Structure 1
Amino acid sequence: MDTKNHTGSLHFFLLGLSDEPSLQPLMFGIFLSIYLITVLGNLLIILAVSSDPHLHTPMYFFLSNLSLADICLSSTTIPKMLVNIHTQDQSITQGGCLLQVCFVWNFAFLENCLLAAMAYDRFVAICHPLSYTAIMHPRLCALLILFSTLISVVSTLLIGLMVLHLSFCTDMKIPHFFCELAQVIKLACSNTFVNNVLTYTATFLFGGIPLSGIIFSYSQIVSSVLKLSSVRGWHKAFSTCGSHLCVVCLFYGAGLGVYISSAVADSPRKMAVASVMYTVVPQMLNPFIYSLRNRDMKGALRKLVDRMASLW
């Protein structure tokens, strides 16, 4: 009997983070709170940047795009998880699973590219302060956003076409709270060697190159800062790139932690729990990092909240 299924009615089953019924209401409440905080926090960042003329600079332009990517990435995974918990139905259609794989991949790589663009902005601000306005002009910023989006879309199309040509068996259980690419590939009945090679190649090209750009930018920043003789200069340089450096460490540190956990974990379910650290937590914490460490952002948020309160 052929166990392969090529029909459009194929369903996957997302097993979530736990199969304990008593924990489901608690997880629903926790992830609903996380999602609301993520959307509200990042939306406030976008509104603050767009409404305050003092924040119409390249750094905050990139930050508002990063906040939008954070909202999109969280909206790709958490709402479906909440619906599954609420309805007690773990199923997701093949098309829905494919879309989730593509959107997670797309927005994760977009964040990767945006962090690289922000690192370049900080590099120019610290290493070439007198030429900052001439280098980081609006056209270049728009081109960096367009280029980041294009790279993310190209990588997504590559991954989407790869998954679309897979054949799946009848055991469609994914030990995760969303359709994670590696778990979907493991369920395929067809040969997945080419798929794995393409996945690692795409990760290296579209993920490794932006990361290399971030490392290079900060190596140049550190070299310039070490040449400063005054403590005040050191403090100013750190305050200029401190928030971005925290976000970078959180994003890549969480990803590295998931990679290490996948190598040593004895169950896919534990890896799913660890993956929350890069698909959920950074997107929630980014607005707090920038608003708490940045005086201009705190002032803009205060003005925005006062303006909204006066309208009510």
Structure 2
Amino acid sequence: MEFDFIEEKDKFIMLGWGLFAFVLVVGGLLLLLDVVPSWFARRREAQIVAAYASGAPLPRRRKPREGMFALFFLMPTLLLLTVGLIVPAIRTTLLSFMDGNSNEWVGLRNYGWMFSEDSIVRVLINTLVWVLLVPLVATSFGLLYAVMVDKARFEAVAKSLIFMPMAISFVGASIIWKFVYAYRGDGQEQIGLLNQIVVSLGGEPKQWLLDSPLNTLLLIVIMIWIQAGFAMVVLSAAIKAIPADIVEAARLDGVSPWQMFWQITMPSIRPALIVVVVTLSIATLKVFDIVRTSTNGNYETSVIANEMYNQAFRYGENGQGSALAVFLFILVIPIVIYQIRNIRQQREG
């Protein structure tokens, strides 16, 4: 027992020294990136001052090698991306073609299991429902808030209240909403807001998070509640950036508020809308905390990220968990490509 304690203690000591070394390396690189350019700038300034004082011609400015200069600043980021992203991604891809113990190659069997197992097909359908509903509904509510609150008397207060859920973690928001959906038996005092409303209207309390597919929709409500504030802030900023002369010209032409919204506001904020939808789509594909905290993925509410965790860490099926992770990565790629193309078109335009 004592030996085990000492061994665990040594592990913590090694971990502490490793973190300390990491902080030293990163801090040294950041200091180097700050000191070296400053030193060159001061040296250049001193040369110019000396040349003016002596009447000599100004020293010719040497053009830096742009590629090497950019690489110098990108090296820390590239190193961290390689260690924390590229290497794990390659390893996960390789594991997805192996069995649960990572001992034998099984080819595409894990991917075939993903689309043939009924429980996993349900997981894929749930993820699709999340991706379809959350970006659409959250963006719609955010746009509605932005239009209604714009130039209102208490605009700052209203925006703060709407944005407040963004300050809460997904786990905290899930706990809050679990109290909203809480259930107690007939004849008992209901502590859940939703069941209390139902009982007040003469209905019977219900275990909301046990019935599929209603429970999935109720979990989606949590995500929408959190992300609507983000959509509202981005779209409100885009609305305020519309040139005043365009708005004034439209009003002089006698357009109605509805025409103003569809003919002026919507085309003007289209880039911001795309950014919001893309951001929410990627965040929704990765959703894990809400499902894990609310239902633990039970009662047919699991999504890809949650099932990936279950397969790899709970059931010891590394191959199947890795296959789900790779599939999740593949789903994100088209969204990222679309966003890159959209940014390039905006720059060319």
Name the TM-score, length of structure 2 as normaliser: 0.27
Q: TM-score, length-normalised on structure 1?
A: 0.29
Q: Considering Cα pairs closer than 8 Å and 6+ residues apart, tell me whether 1 or 2 has the greater RCO.
A: 1
